[in-house]
Structure 1
Amino acid sequence: MKFKIDKFVLSIIIVVIAAYLFPELGGKSGPLPLERIGSIGISLIFFFYGLKLSPEKTKSGLKNWKLHLVIQTCTFLLFPLIVLCFYPLLQTENDRNIWIAFLFLASLPSTVSSSVVMVSIARGNIPAAIFNASISGLIGIVVTPLWLGLFLNNSGANYDLGEIYSKLITEVVIPVVLGLLLHRYWGTLAQKYNDYLTFFDKSIILLIIYKSFCSSFEENVFSGIDAFELVLIALAVFGLFYVVYFLTGFVSNRLEFSTEDKITAQFCGTKKSLVHGTVFAKILFPNPSAMGIILLPIMLFHASQIFIISFLASSISTRKEENKLSYVVENK
């Protein structure tokens, strides 16, 4: 099986290298107003997100409630609970910062486009994938700040939930609501130009990542992380994914889900959105230099989930095709 390097993952790597080589361009005294551009871009991302959401399809998707409950429970409860198990092991401030970054990853919503695409390749329940991927982003607006607030408030950090939800309302909720209200007029147009809107989304995300890593490199935030710790973080990311993937499959079997529903549960319940992660990090962590470490696990998770799920989706699809051919031959 041939693997192609995901262009977005490659772009992220290039952007991080550029931030390392030219941190002054995106730093505090940089020549471009990247902070303002990023804020406007975030609002537009969620406006287009609301514009593409179909209220009718969302309502009809509520029927398969067991599957939806499993996916959303894995996304917003199972992930964080696994990360919480390692909280007693924290010893240094650096350990705590990395753990917070993992808690942030664990509390994020699922992806939209890649979840649906991979479920489609594996021949799972596509309508359920669309519903869960879409509704996950809306749930995350409320749940993600709550998970982080449990620990950042106790640390004495400047984490004001009122101020954070105020930013989320102005930069995320209001644009989403406007998009939903205008769906009946411009929804078809948004779907028609979806590729261009996706390109815009990714461009804004790359800009925010560049800005964040410029600030981090300027202030030597990564000086406390050596190569060994980076390898441990990468292994922890892979481990987190596989534990959730296994447990989601186990629960799906116990609930006697169909093969299609099990595929959807495992593919949607194990994904985390880099788009939402980058946007939420900008709002939840006002200090730009801290965002480098905060975004590190989610960027590694994004790359690994694309690689692993692509392989699994292709393998499942091939196996299904072989079983189908074998059934046809046996019944001739």
Structure 2
Amino acid sequence: MRRPRLPARLPLDPYVLALLATVGLAALLPARGAAAAVADGASTAAVALLFFLYGARLSTREALDGLRHWRLHLTVLACTFLLFPALGLAARVLVPTLLTQPLYNGLLFLCLVPSTVQSSIAFTSIARGNVPAAICAGSFSSLAGVVLTPLLAGALLGGGAGGFSPDSLLKIAVQLLLPFLLGQLLRGRVGGFLTRHKPVLGYVDRGSILLVVYAAFSAGMAAGVWHRVSLPRLGVLMAVEAVLLAVMLLVTWYGAARLGFGREDRIAIQFAGSKKSLAAGLPMASVLFGAQASLAVLPLMLFHQTQLMVCAVLARRRAGDPPAPDGTQLPAGRVAEVSPRPQHPAPQGR
């Protein structure tokens, strides 16, 4: 049996390093007083801008075309918004012995956010999976998450989500859903501009999220929430998240096989159905949790880096699977069951 090939280096996402640096800045120089009000207002505007850009970039035509593979997309959505939340609810038994209530709220919130788009596509491509399906699955998950994530947070987190109330629903609609719908409506006018300036707008995306993180962690420092976290609790949180990711990777791979999907579709389901979006989750948390957002996003930030490292190894292993008789790939360690062909010695001296 072949040993899995490890990548030359595990991917330590530079953006995660930037996020950690932003957290450090908020810890050393948190925004207070008038500066906090400015940071909060800028954060609100950044969240609205992010969701406007999400809506303007999502091609409605491509999404409708992708509906032809509806079984795959429903499977990914079920993993993202049904199985993940069920596992998050099961982790409730760890409170208060192993996890504090704020850390558990963040863990459960992690289970409610939509799947990633970029990394799911990248890993599916590396593993030689169904890339168009991964694109559509990630897009559908992002679209559904704008509505489902706040609703699930209200139903499952209750008072843990910053005092979830009808006012919170209105705030979510104004800050998330309305800009997203506006982006969809204006896509015909601004879509070309966004495509031409995609690299620059990528910096706008990331810079906006860094601003959201700074505002959230500054509010957390002012409220003293970090005094409630200890290193042993963080260690337990990381272990729980490692188990959560392992379970989802196994369920998406073998469950997709039981549902009759081929290898390329199974790869798309595994990478799209086992991930969570840091880009979508961070601004949502700032709206849902308020001053508690700094602890709420910590589990998501840790899970994001873990999923990148694990899936990088897994994608390269999938890419190295031996070919099956029909030209598809078999899982490593399995041999195609075909009759051996007679081998003739190569002519000598030619």
| Cα distance between partner residues in 1 of 2:150 and 2:212 | 19
Moved more, 314-323 or 228-237: 314-323
What is the match of residue 241 of structure 1?
Answer: 245
1:154 offset after TM fit, Å? 6.2
What is the match of residue 107 of structure 1?
Answer: 112
The amino acid across from 1:97 in the alignment is: P
1:268 to 266, 272, 275: 272
The answer (yes or no) to whether the contact 2:99–2:233 under 8 Å persists in 1 is no
1:190 to 194, 213, 217: 194
The answer (yes or no) to whether the contact 2:113–2:145 under 8 Å persists in 1 is yes
The answer (yes or no) to whether the contact 1:27–1:211 under 8 Å persists in 2 is no
2:149 to 144, 148, 170: 144
* DSSP-derived class of the 1:64 partner: helix
1:41 offset after TM fit, Å? 1.3
* DSSP-derived class of the 2:260 partner: coil
1:184 offset after TM fit, Å? 2.4
CA spacing shift, 1:255–1:297, aligned 2, 3 Å: same
The answer (yes or no) to whether the contact 2:106–2:299 under 8 Å persists in 1 is yes
Matched, 1:38 2:19: no
What is the match of residue 8 of structure 1?
Answer: 15
The answer (yes or no) to whether the contact 2:161–2:289 under 8 Å persists in 1 is no
2:62 to 51, 57, 60: 57
CA spacing shift, 1:63–1:294, aligned 2, 3 Å: same
The amino acid across from 1:2 in the alignment is: A
| Cα distance between partner residues in 2 of 1:156 and 1:56 | 35
What is the match of residue 316 of structure 2?
Answer: 314
What is the match of residue 27 of structure 1?
Answer: 32
| Cα distance between partner residues in 1 of 2:232 and 2:183 | 45
Seq. identity, %: 32
1:224-239 pair list within 5 angstroms: 224-239=228-243
| Cα distance between partner residues in 2 of 1:146 and 1:168 | 10
1:153-193 Cα deviation digits (max 9, x unpaired): 36796210x22232222222222222222222332331232
1:321 offset after TM fit, Å? 8.3
What is the match of residue 227 of structure 2?
Answer: 223
What TM-score, normalized to structure 2? 0.85
The amino acid across from 1:140 in the alignment is: G
What is the match of residue 167 of structure 2?
Answer: 163
The amino acid across from 1:18 in the alignment is: L
| Cα distance between partner residues in 1 of 2:115 and 2:161 | 29
CA spacing shift, 1:186–1:154, aligned 2, 3 Å: closer
1:324 offset after TM fit, Å? 8.6
What is the match of residue 173 of structure 1?
Answer: 177
Moved more, 259-268 or 40-49: 40-49
The answer (yes or no) to whether the contact 2:150–2:172 under 8 Å persists in 1 is no
**Aligned-pair RMSD on alpha carbons?**
2.7
1:201-253 Cα deviation digits (max 9, x unpaired): 11111111112122223333122221111111111111111111111112111
1:303 to 295, 305, 308: 305
- Runs of 4+ residues over 6 Å off in structure 1: 154-157, 321-327
Matched, 1:119 2:124: yes
Rg comparison, structure with higher value: 2
What is the match of residue 332 of structure 2?
Answer: none
The structure where helix makes up a greater share of residues is 1
* Number of residue pairs aligned between Structure 1 and Structure 2: 325
Which blocks of at least 5 consecutive residues in structure 2 are unaligned? 1-6, 330-334, 344-350
* DSSP-derived class of the 1:271 partner: coil
The amino acid across from 1:136 in the alignment is: S
The answer (yes or no) to whether the contact 2:103–2:296 under 8 Å persists in 1 is yes
The amino acid across from 1:276 in the alignment is: A
What TM-score, normalized to structure 1? 0.89
| Cα distance between partner residues in 1 of 2:100 and 2:59 | 43
The answer (yes or no) to whether the contact 2:123–2:315 under 8 Å persists in 1 is yes
* DSSP-derived class of the 2:100 partner: helix
The answer (yes or no) to whether the contact 1:115–1:129 under 8 Å persists in 2 is yes
1:75 offset after TM fit, Å? 0.3
| Cα distance between partner residues in 2 of 1:10 and 1:155 | 28
What is the match of residue 259 of structure 1?
Answer: 263
1:318 offset after TM fit, Å? 3.4
The answer (yes or no) to whether the contact 1:110–1:268 under 8 Å persists in 2 is yes
Matched, 1:84 2:89: yes
The answer (yes or no) to whether the contact 2:55–2:183 under 8 Å persists in 1 is yes
The answer (yes or no) to whether the contact 1:87–1:99 under 8 Å persists in 2 is yes
| Cα distance between partner residues in 2 of 1:197 and 1:69 | 31
